[in-house]
Chain A
Amino acid sequence: MNKPRSSPALDDYAPLVGTGTIEELRFFAEHLKGKRLVMVNSTRVGGGVAEMLARLVPLMNELGIECRWEVIHGNPDFFRVTKAWHNAIHGAPVRLSATDVDIYMQTNRKNAETINLDADVVAIHDPQPAALIDLKKNGDARKWVWRCHIDASHPAPGVWDFLSSYVERYDASIFSLPAFAKQLPIPQYLFFPSIDPLTEKNRILTEEEVEAVLERLGIPRDKPYILQVSRYDRLKDPIGVYRAYKIAKETNDIRLVLAGGSATDDPEGAEVLREVREAVGNDPDCHVLELPPDANHEINALQRGATIVLQKSIREGFGLTVTEALWKGKAVVAGAVGGIPAQVLHGVTGLLCHTPEGCAYQIRYLLANPKERERLGKLGMEWVRSEFLVTQNLRRWLLLLHALEYPTERLITR
């Protein structure tokens, strides 16, 4: 198996996005050479933000931006508090306690003493390090940016009131969707999340590689299969997916593959998985898979082997599994929630649904119309190429640096 290099160079993306796009990134970076940017988050491994920074930071440096990545440190109590606040920003009814505020502030103050934020632009990711803005002094030449990766549209009031008192002191903020943002007295920019086409989860696989994975996972290729990749969570509606499959199965000989993470350390996930297994019973055409967290190669192969990819969520963040499927040129049927409608433009890059019945209808439609699957798949891939790849994310950061550094200058003349 050809594993990709850990940190690809910009030119490695040229075959996927075109040399013109790479050339343009260089044009936009030319004027910013030597600018210093520091990214700050709360973990170097695990999670989408760390994955994104691991690729973005080296590419920035390749373009001549002096980009560093700092990580704040905290004890389990700190991460318990910030996990609860993360849920609160998502809308969970979490009460703000004085003890939690104390734990949060102590950790931020302690990190402020040691962290190196010497840069032209300081980009703080998510709520964990947000209080580092206390380091911003009057007349500070640095520009401070808060990148919110969470849907902050309906936060629990107490927690948000506390956090927003810090967020409002930044020079700018970034949100993943217009619907995820809050009214703030500082500029807010839109950065879609992105995927990296060169990672193990997204790189092009040979047919042999796909075959080998499907064989290992016990999925025969005697008939088409529809797939949903997501953790076993009621908000991903796996039972609804099964109902949609059962309806479509009445007129189509198909398999269903549900691929989610292992639920051993997640009590609710284990319960949902049990419900799914119970619903599926001994249907030999249903495959309920528990994959380890690092099963990126397997997920890639499952997506590439599928005839239709589903993401029938009832509630969703941005929905990067949809981005991954679109990038692989797959026809996608997905719930019209969260960031999915920004990716699945109904009838153009995929099909949206609202119910298991609607999902089944779209599955039947696509199974009966292979040319339509091909058309949607092609356009979906182009849409991802245009908006949701790491190269676009890089472009947005370059434009933001430009907007912050040269607020009145829009025409760069070398």
Chain B
Amino acid sequence: MNGESFRFHTSSDLVELTGKQARNLNELLRVIRTARGAEIFHHLFQTLREHHLFLERYPNDFADWVHNACGEPVLAERLAGVDIRGKHSLAELRGTIVDVLKDYIEENPAAGTRPARTPFYLCSSISVVVPTGIVVKSVEEFRDAVAQVSLQSIYHHFVTARIRVDLATNDFSAWLGTSMNRPDLAERLDRIDLTMLTLEGVRNEILEALE
């Protein structure tokens, strides 16, 4: 794998409606327990793409709905705190969210059946990935490319890659660490807190790390 070039791709998501909805926290727990990976992905990651426009919002749909529709700020904060970094699969993420919800409902049984102001609609994402035609073979070329590719491409390689390749890392770090033999850069990029930055901010942090 040493010396392999890096091919930049970009992705875009088509949103599918599942017809499933939740009108209170108990129903949300039930819906999430049986949700497919693509559904969990949608509500955690699709929103993260949108969230990168608005850091004022919670970083995932579950936290946002719990706060705005159910009026449960404590649970919203706990759900917002679920860190997608370090998780190896969507099943693992789903398990974490289920645990947070279950614990909260056990602590606050009345909250489980309290009607939400608006329903939670479970959706799913169909990701379509295309090559951008940009191929790089060195760290220098890589840096130039990161400066020019679209934010969708950054999102694809840096955010969703963690789940897609079933790694607790991202495409950039994986390539820098293995193909470029630069574990120092790989680790530095891995430490970037992607939930607290705009995508442009993520790009700038990467560029800074590569200087």
Which residues of A are at the interface with B, using a C-beta cutoff of 8 A? Answer: 18, 20-21, 23-24, 27-28, 30-31, 175, 178-179, 181, 183-184, 187-190, 341, 345-349, 379, 382-383, 386-387, 395-396, 399-400, 402-403, 410-414
Whole-angstrom distance between the Cβ of A353 and the nearest chain B Cβ? 15
- Interface SS majority for chain B: strand
State which of A20, A24, A187, A386 has its C-beta within 8 Å of the C-beta of B16.
A187
A20-B150, A23-B150, A395-B12 known; A28 and B130 CB under 8 Å? yes
Structural contact, B151 and A348, CB atoms closer than 8 A: no
Q: Kindly list chain B residues whose C-beta atoms are within 8 Å of the C-beta of A345.
A: 54, 57
5 additional contacts (CB under 8 A) given A23-B132, A24-B12, A179-B121: A23-B150, A27-B10, A379-B54, A386-B50, A400-B14
Q: B13 in the interface, Cβ–Cβ < 8 Å?
A: yes
A183 with B130, Cβ < 8 A, contacts A348-B57, A382-B53 known:
no
How far, in Å, is A140 (CB) from chain B's closest CB?
22
Per-residue interface assignment for chain B, residues 105 to 127, with 1 indicating a CB less than 8 Å from any chain A CB and 0 otherwise: 00000000000001101010011
How far, in whole Å, are A259 and B95 apart by their CA atoms in the complex?
52
Q: Name the residue in B19, B56, B57, B130 with the highest tally of chain A Cβ atoms < 10 Å from its Cβ.
A: B130
Task: State whether A24 touches B152 (Cβ < 8 A).
Answer: yes
Tell me, yes or no, whether B1 is within 8 Å of chain A by CB: no
Question: Which A residues are CB-close (under 8 A) to B130?
Answer: 24, 27-28, 30-31, 412, 414
Chain A residues, Cβ within 8 Å of B118: 179, 341
A350 vs B50: C-alpha distance when bound (angstroms): 16
Specify which chain B residues have a CB less than 8 angstroms from the CB of A413 in the assembled complex: 131
* A412 contacts across to B, CB distance below 8 A: 128-131
Q: Does B15 contact A (CB under 8 A)?
A: yes
- Min CB gap A193→B, angstroms: 14
Chain B residue at minimal CB-CB distance from A414: B131
List the B side residues contacting A178 at CB < 8 Å: 17, 21, 121, 123
* Bound complex: CA A18 to CA B199 (Å): 15
B129 pairs with A410, CB closer than 8 A = yes
When the two chains form their complex, are residues A181 and B17 in contact, meaning their CB atoms are under 8 A apart? yes
| Chain B contacts with A in 27-71, Cβ cutoff 8 A | 50, 53-54, 56-57, 68
Output the least CB separation between A213 and chain B (Å): 32
Closest residue of B by beta carbon distance from A182: B19
The reply to whether B16 and A190 contact each other, CB–CB distance below 8 Å, is: yes
Q: In which size bucket is the chain B interface?
A: 20 to 34
List the A side residues contacting B123 at CB < 8 Å.
178, 190
The chain B residues found within 8 Å of chain A, CB to CB, are 9-10, 12-17, 19, 21, 50, 53-54, 56-57, 68, 118-119, 121, 123, 126-133, 149-152
Q: Report the minimal beta-carbon distance from B61 to chain A, rounded to whole angstroms.
A: 11
Q: Once the chains bind, are B150 and A24 in contact (CB under 8 Å)?
A: yes
Q: Is the CB of B15 within 8 A of A189?
A: yes
Chain B: which residue is nearest A392 at the CB level? B12
For the complex, what is the distance from the CA of A345 to the CA of B13, rounded to whole Å?
21
* Cβ–Cβ < 8 Å partners of A386 in chain B: 50, 53
User: B16, A399: Cβ atoms under 8 Å?
Assistant: no
Are A190 and B15 within 8 A (Cβ)?
yes
CB-CB nearest in chain A for B55:
A348
Closest B residue to A190 using CB positions = B15
CB pair A188–B16 under 8 Å, yes or no, is yes
Known: A348-B56, A383-B53. A190 touches B10 (CB 8 A): no
Contact of A399 with B129 in the complex, beta carbons under 8 Å = no
| 5 A–B pairs (Cβ distance < 8 Å), ordered by A | A27-B10, A27-B130, A189-B15, A387-B50, A411-B9
Contact, CB under 8 Å: B10 / A24: yes
The answer to whether B128 and A28 touch across the interface, beta carbons within 8 angstroms, is yes
Name the residue on A nearest B148 (C-beta): A20
Give the residue name and chain of the A residue nearest to B9 (CB): A411
For the complex formed, measure the closest distance between the CB of A17 and the CB atoms of chain B, giving whole angstroms: 11
Q: Which B residues touch A411, using CB under 8 A?
A: 9, 129
| Chain B min CB distance to A406 (Å) | 9
A349 to B12, CA, bound (A): 23
- CB-defined contacts of B13 to chain A, threshold 8 Å: 399
Interface centre among A345, A346, A387 (most CB of B within 10 A): A345
A80 to B166, CA, bound (A): 56
A181–chain B nearest beta-carbon distance, Å: 5
A190 to B71, alpha carbons, bound, how many Å? 26
| Minimal beta-carbon separation of B43 from chain A (angstroms) | 12
> Across the interface, which residues of B come within 8 angstroms of A175, CB to CB?
17
Determine if B54 and A399 form an interchain contact, defined as CB atoms under 8 angstroms apart: no
What CA separation (Å) do A184 and B17 show in the bound complex? 10
Contact partners of B152 in chain A: CB under 8 A:
20, 24
Q: Which residues of B contact A27 (CB under 8 A)?
A: 10, 130-133
A309 to B: closest C-beta gap in Å: 20
**Cα A106 to Cα B140 with chains together (Å):** 67
Residues of A within 8 A of B131 (CB): 27, 412-414
The complex places the Cα of A387 from the Cα of B12 at a distance, in Å, of 12
